[in-house]
Structure 1
Amino acid sequence: MTIVHADELDNMETQSSDLQSELDNVNNELLEIGGQIADNEVQMEAINGEIEKTQEQLLIAKNNEEQQYEDMKLRIQYIYENSGESMLGMIFSAESMADFINKVDFITTVNDYDRDMLTDLQTLRKNIENEEKHLKEQQQAYVDLENDLTQKEAELTAKASEASTDLASLSAKIEELKAQKAAEAARKEAEKLQANNSGNAGSSGNGGGSGSSGSSGSGKYNYPSGPGQLNPFVGVVYFNGHKETYYSQRVLPGHGLNIPGRHVADDGTIRDINNYLCLASSDHPKGTKVETSLGTGIVYDSGCASGVIDIYTDW
């Protein structure tokens, strides 16, 4: 039987606690990253809306610029080609100096207006283009951040999965060691009782007669001591897909049970003429053979819970 050392179990429990803390930290990071991804997606959606609006404004500005340019060309064409008359002809057709100055001033004013309007529209278009460029740079920054966060989320998810697997494996080992430790303690206790009462082994070593023969002292029995075996000190075990417990003939004499050759064995269990354990089960018909942690038994009684095998004993 494997001997379980206390420091080994303590070390495993410490590792389990550390793994649980690590898993909690990773899960907290995942929650935080999930929040960052959600916020980033909101910002990306807002930027996409700004870009769409800016592109609409840029299209309007370009159309206005083109329209202004076309209007300017028409006015210049009018000034230079009005009724087939040259600009100089129009200017020198002035009837007075005042008329001359007015015509020159008109031409200058129209040209200045067109140039100013065109310059303003070009400046507006350039500003909108710069804004669009800036928004697209922001959009790319959010895309890059989204990729980084998604990659980190995947790495943390893998780390959490690994920690969960390790924690489950370690927990299973801890439970196994605890069961071994309990079985070891039960074995030592049984050996102690057997040593203290070895002088009382006396008669009925095989208990050959009735159900109550030789039952005056529990210390005379050679109790099962292996890991996972039912005994008076480990009163519940799980074996072969069922839960095992015991019920004592000292509490339930079972006079009405038809058990041929009923006797008390060296280990304190009640057995029949063929040395089969006497069992109770609600899942199997009477007469069914069932494998237990103490060997093969036959169902002689019912009335226990489903999934449970009761072994009849003198404990």
Structure 2
Amino acid sequence: MIHRKRIISLVLTAVMCLGLGLQVNASEISETKEKAAQLENQKKAAENEKNSLAAQLEKIAGEMEDLQGQIEEKEMELFAKEEELSQAKVEENEQYQDMKKRIKYMYENGNAQFIEILLESKTIGDFLNKAEYISTISEYDRDMLEQFQEIVKAVEKQEAEIRDEYEEMGDMQDELIAKQDQVSKLVTQKEAEISSLGSQLDDTNKKLAQLEEAAAEAQRKQAEAAASQQAQSSAGSGYKPGGAGAAVVSGNGTFTHPCPGYTYISSYFGYREQPLAGASTNHKGMDFAAPQGTPIYAAASGTVVSAAYSGNAGNMITISHGNGLSTIYMHCYQMYVSAGQTVSKGQNIASVGTTGNSTGPHLHFQVNLNGVPTNPMNYL
């Protein structure tokens, strides 16, 4: 009795320690999840900023393309105006040279020739016409020179205005190039930030997966310790390690609980993220954690279809209950029935073990309807 109490005390201590470990692990998991969420938000914000910068770059590229087209047009205008100015200066110079020749001629010959021309006039009308002609030539030279000079000034002014616009566009182009370089650097920095956040997020998610796996393992061990404590407490209640015990029927469902008193489910029916190596992620039954040797009871009356060792399932019993229903009991330690045997509801058919592909003592309880696995909770 003293020895049994000591064992129970040790088991209780282990359960308490495991419980404290689970609390610490849960706190770390919560903190890691929060950190992962923060990193995810930071990464999304950085990606949004990068997309915004990329849009700015695209806009700048469009503005530069438009400005380049305007610069090319202005270059053509400037080239045409330079040609026009050059021609105006040529015409101005030609007029100036012609006028200089006439002035030189008059200076070198004096006024005698003009007087002779006038004296040769036969009539007063002819005289007046010749005098007016000489005056007209002088006025024409002067007027034409002034006209050409005005044209040159006008073209020079237009050329200066075009050149100012051209230089202004060049400054605008330089500003756009500088802005483009600045935004490109920001994009590069943002890409580096996103890469860093992505690496941190990957590391955090890996840590979270490890923590959750450790928590699941600790929870399983806690359940096994609790089950062991319960088994020690209920020792002498009729269970005999060497053979089958009395029948037990519990619950109000179609099936009695196959392992009454051990309701902790270490693995539920359906999808599971981290199965054992070689096991399917689609769990076809429910795992009840219980210490080795705990009685297993037939969920309902029926006929034992098979009771033998079966690879990953270990010692396995299959019972047919009619109407397409059958139940399966895996990883048994001892089996108390054989194929072809008729069993009653609640009959002790085996004991909990860890045979086959198993991490610890538990009962894999599976319900098939017309050969298809279905959730056992629908029948318990």
Q: Same fold (TM over 0.5)?
A: yes
Shift, 1:292, TM fit: 3.2
**Partner of 2:279 in structure 1?**
242
TM-score of the aligned structures, taking structure 1 as reference length: 0.69
| C-alpha distance in 1 between matches for 2:68 and 2:83 | 23
Whether the 8 Å contact between 1:54 and 1:128 is mirrored in structure 2 is yes
1:115, CA displacement in angstroms?
A: 1.5
Any unmatched runs of 5+ in structure 2?
A: 1-17, 119-127, 249-257, 287-296, 317-329, 336-354, 361-367, 374-380
Whether 1:46 and 2:66 are equivalent positions in the alignment is yes
**SS across alignment from 1:242:** coil
TM-score (norm 2): 0.58
CA gap of 1:208–1:110, structure 2 versus 1, over 3 A, is farther
Displacement of 1:154: 1.2
1:182 match: 216
* Matched residue count: 271
Q: Does 1:292 align with 2:357?
A: yes
Counterpart of 1:256 (choices 305, 321, 328) is 305
Encode CA deviations 1:89-113: one digit per residue, 9 max, x unaligned. Answer: 7995655775554333222211111
Amino acid at match of 1:9: I
Which residue identity is paired with 1:256? V
> Equivalent residues in 2 for 1:124-143 (5 A)?
124-143=158-177
Q: Give yes or no for the alignment of 1:23 onto 2:43.
A: yes
User: Following TM superposition, by how much is the alpha carbon of 1:73 offset from its aligned partner in structure 2, in angstroms?
Assistant: 2.7
Shift of 1:9: 2.2
Match of 1:279 in 2: none
Unaligned runs of 5+ in 1: 222-230, 274-289, 296-301, 306-315
- Identical-residue share of aligned pairs (%): 12
Contact 1:197/1:219 (<8 A) preserved: no
How many Å apart are 1:251 and its aligned residue? 4.9
Aligned runs of 1:53-92 on 2, under 5 Å? 53-81=73-101, 86=105, 88=107, 92=111
Q: Is 1:263–1:271's contact at 8 Å kept on the other side of the alignment?
A: yes
Q: Using a 3 Å threshold, how does the CA distance of structure 1 residues 107 and 88 change in structure 2: closer, same or farther?
A: farther
Whether the aligned pair in 2 keeps the contact of 1:193 and 1:219 (CA below 8 Å) is no
Tell me: CA distance 1:91–1:40, structure 2 relative to 1, closer, same or farther (3 Å): farther
Q: Does 1:3 align with 2:21?
A: yes
Matched, 1:106 2:137: no
Partners in 1 of 2:21 and 2:164 — Cα distance?
77
Q: Is the CA contact (8 Å cut-off) linking 2:307 and 2:315 kept in structure 1?
A: no
Amino acid at match of 1:192: A
Distance 1:219 1:55, change over 3 A: same
Distance 1:145 1:254 in 2: 83
Provide the C-alpha distance between the structure 1 equivalents of 2:309 and 2:72, rounded to a whole number of angstroms.
93
8 Å contact kept, 1:183–1:234: no
For 1:158, the equivalent position in structure 2 comes to 192
Letter of the 1:257 counterpart = S
Structure 2 residue matching 1:256: 3-state secondary structure: strand
Superposed displacement of residue 200, structure 1? 4.1
Distance change >3 Å, CA 114–CA 188, structure 1 → 2: same
Look up the SS of the partner of 2:275 in the other structure. Answer: strand
**Could you tell me which amino acid in structure 1 is paired with residue 44 of structure 2?**
D
Assess, with a 3 A threshold, how the Cα gap between structure 1 residues 172 and 232 changes in structure 2: closer, same or farther. same
Q: Distance in 1 between matches of 2:304 and 2:243?
A: 17
Closer/same/farther in 2, CA of residues 68 and 246 from structure 1, 3 Å limit: closer
The letter for the 2-side match of 1:103 is: I
Matched residue type, 2:277: N
Residue 306 of structure 2 aligns to a residue whose secondary structure is coil
CA distance in 2, matches of 1:113, 1:99: 21
For the structure 1 residues 214 and 123, does the alpha-carbon distance in structure 2 shift closer, same or farther, using more than 3 Å as the test? farther
Query: Could you say if the C-alpha distance between residues 88 and 233 of structure 1 is closer, same or farther in structure 2, counting changes exceeding 3 Å?
Result: same
Are the aligned partners of 1:19 and 1:167 in contact in 2 as well (CA < 8 Å)? yes
Q: Write the distance in 2 (CA, Å) between the matches of 1:270 and 1:90.
A: 144
User: Higher strand share goes to which structure?
Assistant: 2
What does residue 308 of structure 1 align with? none
Q: For 1:234-255, what per-residue CA distance to the aligned partner results, in whole angstroms no more than 9, with x for missing partners?
A: 3454222532646478459883
- TM-superposed CA distance for 1:11, in Å, is 2.2
Determine the C-alpha separation between the residues in 2 that align with 1:91 and 1:251.
Answer: 147
Alignment-mate amino acid for residue 305 of structure 2: G
Q: Is the 8 A contact 1:30 1:156 kept in 2?
A: yes
The letter for the 1-side match of 2:192 is: A
Match of 2:150 in 1: 116
- Contact persistence 1:58–1:128 (CA under 8 A): yes
